[in-house]
Amino acid sequence: MLKLILSSSVHRLPQTVVPTLRPTTLSTSPLHKVLGSLRGGRLFFCSGSGDGADAEAKVVDSGSGAEESQTKPSSAIVSTNPRPEDYLTVLALPLSHRPLFPGFYMPIYVKDPKLLAALQESRERQAPYAGAFLLKDEPGSDPSVVTGSDADKNVYDLKGKELFNRLHEVGTLAQISSIHGDQVILIGHRRLRIAEMVSEDPLTVKVDHLKDKAYNKDDDIIKATSSEVISTLRDVLKTSSLWRDHVQTYTKHIGDFTYPRLADFGAAISGANKLQCQQVLEELDVYNRLKLTLELVKKEMEISKIQESIAKAIEEKISGEQRRYLLNEQLKAIKKELGLETDDKTALTGKFRERIEPKREKCPPHVLQVIDEELTKLQLLEASSSEFSVTRNYLDWLTALPWGEYSDENFDVTRAQKILDEDHYGLTDVKDRILEFIAVGKLRGTSQGKIICLSGPPGVGKTSIGRSIARALNRKFFRFSVGGLADVAEIKGHRRTYIGAMPGKMVQCLKNVGTANPLVLIDEIDKLGRGHAGDPASALLELLDPEQNANFLDHYLDVPIDLSKVLFVCTANVVEMIPNPLLDRMEVVSIAGYITDEKMHIARDYLEKSTREASGIKPEQVEMTDAALLALIENYCREAGVRNLQKHIEKIYRKIALQLVRQGETIDATIASAQSIEPKNAKVDFDESGQNTIKKESLLGSSNPEQRDENSEEDDKVQIDLPAEQSPFPDNQSTDTEVAKESEEDKETETKTIEKVLIDKSNLDDYVGKPVFHADRIYDQTPTGVVMGLAWTSMGGSTLYIETTLVEEGEGKGALHATGQLGDVMKESTQIAHTVARAILVEKEPENPFFANSKLHLHVPAGATPKDGPSAGCTMTTSLLSLAMKKPVKKDLAMTGEVTLTGKILPIGGVKEKTIAARRSEVKTIVFPSANRRDFDELAPNVKEGLDVHFVDDYRQIFDLAFGDELSQNVEN
């Protein structure tokens, strides 16, 4: 079969097998001429006369090879005395892939030793014929699925009757051309039909020779069909180089050209499956066989077209890419010869050298050495290697850093003071510290980096202070937040061996700002996380140590970096949350928060102005009174910062914006409706204020305006401001015409009168809702057993009451029960206060058995708020004594301080916050421990103004202040 010979899986015939054809006369039929006219190879076909008994080989060559073939004798076909039709019993050879057609070669492999010996014996006894029959598919199998070697294995395993049942009835009488090992070359001769089985091993069958049915050679339908087959074969041979190159293998023919042989030829070389080929082999009617073959070659033609289109598309794609590649390579070579461009590695190296050249004098020697080594390595690496990209990225970072480049600092103290005052109100401690830093830098001629930590409640402006400091110093500003940071690589960088490795935040900062002395704001340093990737707080130790950061080592760069000129500003809400080793390296500047006066200035000078501009509202359109601002601060925004105050101001201005827009739309609608009135029913007049008014006639009443009363006329007036240059209408001029003219010409310049929005204390609730906070003073007249204390919170300071009451009284029932969601430290303070109060009571009133016989309940209000700390000790003691002696404490008295068992008063924290809380509650007298005198003296004068502060060392001093004879009356005289 031709297809088997053409495929890569078919072995080519040995040189000794190819028959030498004897000369014969070329046929002159039109079909021969059509096939012979094809170029690109030698064409072979079959012809026959009668039954084809005398088989001869005949070659038709399209070129000069025809003459050569006519000169060589033929000796391939074995001459036999008996004729092929005399063989009625033959060995049955199974074919697994395709049937064998008459006139074609087919190599098969015979694994059965007995069958191979029988074939060899038949050839040696001058009976070289066997029957080749196609093997049927296994029941239930898909014939379109190729099973490969498994199918061959199944063929070899079949024996005897099982094999006989699997063979198709119609096959081909095949001449055994040669045997080489287990390979047998068969040449098809004529069709056979199995009659019965003769023997099983090897399988021998009795056959009947089949002849084609009689047909009329001059039948037009047969001629037309055969011509179409030849035409289609010609087209296929043109498109398929595979067929064109191997069609010459069809060298077997018997006699002259016949239509049956043409049908066999087309079916044999087609790519149809074995069942379709078997159908052609079994068909004895010539016309039907030609039709079946025509279907197969037509399908082959379509496959060839698809193959050609696929090949063309792939070829165009490959040729386009190759052409582009060649042109690019030629372009590179031309540019390189002309000196216009170098290759990628040379250009990359040149870029890095050009980038580092201006910094070479300022760059540290160890960094220059690393850069030169990496540049040399880059030249030796292949551009496609992974190490090349790692080295390129490393050099990119090394050469992009500002080695030795510093921004010019401004040491003008007056300018810095002005900038700090412009951006922030108050914050004297922070401003003084920055001005000190600038003064030292001016005297030294150079500035040294410091680590400053701004601590305070949220919203006091810690982050914005850092930006203002950078502007005052003329330094570049870089901020990164470490809140929740759990990966050390964010600070120290990754190792270069990792995929996607990057330097740490400090190296990224230096690359972004372009200078080696920026101001770096590390935000939320008290909220550092700790995860599986290390402890970032420990990694910051090297970065924030003034003695170590001159040689900061990033894991990615792996070269020391000088960060000694960087000014680090850290922010934190609670200093106690910062690890002690890290806190030790920083200079803490506390920002306690803002008092009411400071909030008023900030709201008026900063927040309100910026919010008004952001809302698109003009200053003349809205007015917010001081009383409204004060109420907003006292009742809605009592926290230490101003962030919540800004939110409330923004809320107010958003509502004002909506109100103004709605008012403007209403006026627009009114003007539009006034202008849409018919001219005869409208006239324009001027009121006493100089504003022109449109008088609308009632459409339901009389058309005469004089018949309507004045009130109705006033109700129908619509106020419209005309341009300044507009003059009143003359009495003799038509008002109808002027109104129409004004609406057309002066529409764009027309302005609308919008009422100014006034925000006062009375209507503040309409914009921000009901008050959130109420007065801290629960009692105007503090009763017995109640004392006001001062507390510190992360949001600022606040006042709280300590309340004590008698539960029951009886002999030996002395006890104390405390509530109010108190922490462990505060619970211990209640026990200490109880003990101290009993000692003081014994000292002051020896005969009073109150504590020994009374069960007491001490409560701290706001039970939903957790409270802890020792500073309420003196307040609890005073509350217990007030109840025991049945004397209320002095009005407007607040106290704070930790008490010991001996009555000593220890210092506390948050003096400023507690002082602000006392002023907010209108407290006049405050008791502080003596150790906190210095903290109070450092407060701003406006914070201390109007307060009577007493500093005590022992609780007995507090007792005299709270229960003295001259102060014991809790009434105002």
Alpha-carbon gap, residue 626 to 737, rounded angstroms: 50
Q: H or E stretch including 832?
A: helix 824-844
* DSSP letter, residue 40: S
The token pair at 922 is 């209108």
* DSSP letter, residue 777: -
Binding site annotation covers 903?
Answer: no
The neighbour count for residue 329, using CB atoms within 10 Å, is 10
Closest by Cα among 60, 57, 55, 63 to 43: 60
* Burial label, 443 (beta-carbon count in 10 A; 0-12, 13-18, 19+): exposed
Binding site annotation covers 148?
Answer: no
Alpha-carbon gap, residue 82 to 127, rounded angstroms: 8
Query: What DSSP string describes 48-97?
Result: -STT--S-----B-SSTHHHHHTTSPP--SPP-SS-GGG--EEEEEEESS
757-787 core/surface letters (b: 16 or more CB in 10 A; e: else):
bebeeeebeebbeeeeeeebeeeeebebbbb
Spot the catalytic one: 274, 696, 890, 914. Answer: 914
Query: Strand pairing of 129-134 and 854-859?
Result: unpaired
Binding site annotation covers 73?
Answer: no
The neighbour count for residue 349, using CB atoms within 10 Å, is 19
Query: What DSSP string describes 669-688?
Result: HHHHHHHTS-GGGEEEEE-T
From the centroid of its chain, how far is CA 605? 42
Alpha-carbon gap, residue 111 to 212, rounded angstroms: 34
Q: What is the largest CA-CA distance in the chain?
A: 158
Report cis status (omega within 30 of 0) of the bond before 365: no
Strand partners, 806: 856
871 a catalytic residue: yes
Binding site annotation covers 534?
Answer: no
Alpha-carbon gap, residue 133 to 91, rounded angstroms: 10
* Burial label, 967 (beta-carbon count in 10 A; 0-12, 13-18, 19+): middle
Q: Side-chain half-sphere of 434: how many Cα atoms within 13 Å? A: 32
The neighbour count for residue 153, using CB atoms within 10 Å, is 12
Alpha-carbon gap, residue 891 to 774, rounded angstroms: 19
Binding site annotation covers 460?
Answer: yes
Alpha-carbon gap, residue 173 to 624, rounded angstroms: 115
Q: H or E stretch including 905?
A: strand 905-906
Alpha-carbon gap, residue 890 to 52, rounded angstroms: 142
Binding site annotation covers 90?
Answer: no
Binding site annotation covers 457?
Answer: yes
From the centroid of its chain, how far is CA 208? 78
Query: What DSSP string describes 305-365?
Result: HHHHHHHHHHHHHHHHHHHHHHHHHHHHHHHHHHTS---HHHHHHHHHHHHHGGGTTTS-H
454-485 core/surface letters (b: 16 or more CB in 10 A; e: else):
bbbbebbbbeebbbbbbbbbbbbbbbeebeeb
695 a catalytic residue: no
Spot the catalytic one: 47, 447, 871, 882. Answer: 871
Sequence letter at residue 133: F
Binding site annotation covers 560?
Answer: no
Alpha-carbon gap, residue 214 to 208, rounded angstroms: 18
Residue with tokens 């004590």: 804
- Provide the annotated binding site for ATP: 456-463
- Provide the annotated binding site: 456-463
The residues that are catalytic are: 871, 914
